[in-house]
Amino acid sequence: MPGGPSSAWLHSIDATYELVEVPEVREKYPVLAQKVAATITACEEALRDYGWHHCALSFNGGKDCTVLAHILTAVLRRLNGCESHQSVPTIESLYVACSQPFTEVEQFIEYAASEETGYHLILHTTKGDLKTALTEYKEGEKGKDITAIFIGVRRDDPQGSTIHVRSKCDPSWPPIMRIHPLLDWEYEDVWAFLRCPHLRVGATSSHVPSTA
């Protein structure tokens, strides 16, 4: 539908909850359903505690953050009562680009950020390390009210074993709470979500670059 997301895409987003709430679907994908349930809970609780307009998403176009964006969008539609409407709530997002980003990554990020084909991300793009990017973001107009940021880190990622679902930044970092809803996911879980026939995320996941 011009000017907004298609019904099929909205169904793919809302079907995230069906993995948890519909018995026959949950029984068909038991491991994935358990992971998704924990992630939904982490997202719901963080959004309630910090407020939708005070939360942002770290998005670099990789598989992990795409899964997180999909689940977070489903949660926002549920919490904002949008499930009966053809709309996707906006998500403030921080994209920390590398010095020479791949064209396919940039194209996918544009695709995934779109209201029509993706997750309606309001992107703030910067370069450098995460600490510098967060500092710049928090000091700027877009990020001054952000108090929590969702990050698609898993436990087997570098430093993933030392963090929690919610981890405060070190004192030398900007005062922001890092939320890691995918912390206990495995690499196989990420692929299982992107390829799940019930979710039909394929419209977006087929464009996900091969980089993690």
Contact 91, 80 (CB under 8 A): no
Residue 212 has pLDDT above 70, yes or no: no
Does this model's pTM top 0.75? My answer is yes
User: In this structure, which amino acid lies at residue 71?
Assistant: I
Q: From CA 112, how far away is CA 61, in angstroms rounded?
A: 8
Considering the domain 7-199, what is its CATH architecture?
A: 3-Layer(aba) Sandwich (3.40)
User: Contact 69/166 with Cβ under 8 angstroms?
Assistant: no
**Which range (107-116, 155-164, 181-190) has the least confidence?**
155-164
In tens, the pLDDT along 87-133 reads 889 999 999 988 777 888 899 999 999 988 899 999 999 888 888 99
Q: What is the mean pLDDT of the chain?
A: 89
How far is Cα 75 from Cα 135, in angstroms, rounded to an integer? 27
* pLDDT, average across residues 17-35: 97
Which tokens go with 129? Answer: 């390390």
